Structure 1
Amino acid sequence: MKNENLYKLPFANVYPYYIAKAEKKGRTKEELDTIICWLTGYDEKGLQQQLDSKASFENFYTEAPQLNPNISKITGLVCGIRVEEIEDPLMQKIRYLDKLVDELAKGKAMEKILKK
């Protein structure tokens, strides 16, 4: 998928896959939402509004209240690419969330996922 197509894809279309990935490994939707809110600064109401409005990935991140100041502590590989080395800022934000969801699904403690 080209980046432009991904950027226009509604975040709400991918969200159920994030939930399924977490729940398949015994984690919860609430834990996933905590991670998303930690990363983007949305509260539960704001996140739900983004889902209900079918905001694109681009708008989801553009309208995010405030990216977490510890975002640079998210490191590692997603799809064989180091997230900290991705040059496209929007793609990097998308992959940061992918990395956090991967860590959740691998059973990592929430404190470590949230870089506390």
Structure 2
Amino acid sequence: MSYDYDERPSYNTPISPRAPMWLTPEERAAGIHKDLKIAARRFLCPNCGHEFSLFQSRAVACKACPQANQNCPYVRCPYCDSEYPIKGFIVPDSKEDQVHMSAYADKVFNKWQDSYGNNRR
């Protein structure tokens, strides 16, 4: 099998958390959920061209923002600080998907804060 390394991967294709998604047996055994795969998926910043994920955005660029754990409808590039709506960028144009993924990311970071005591905000 040959690969063309000049070809860029498919970035910025929104994925709905309600859509069926294949998880390998190894992923299921490790407790990986499709929400985790969406939140960790790499997206390409339209402004600067760097890759980032929803987790990177919330952990780095949104760290000091008071709205970061209140279902913020935006995602921020940790490299150039440009802000984009989650709806249409990470998830399809659905308010339900936007709130679901934002709440999921908030839950992950709040659980980490409770476990390790590091003040996120």
TM-score by length of 2: 0.28
Larger Cα-atom Rg: 2
Q: As a proportion of its length, which structure holds more helix? A: 1
Q: As a proportion of its length, which structure holds more strand? A: 2
Structure with more relative contact order (C-alpha pairs < 8 Å, separation 6 or more)? 1
TM-score by length of 1: 0.29
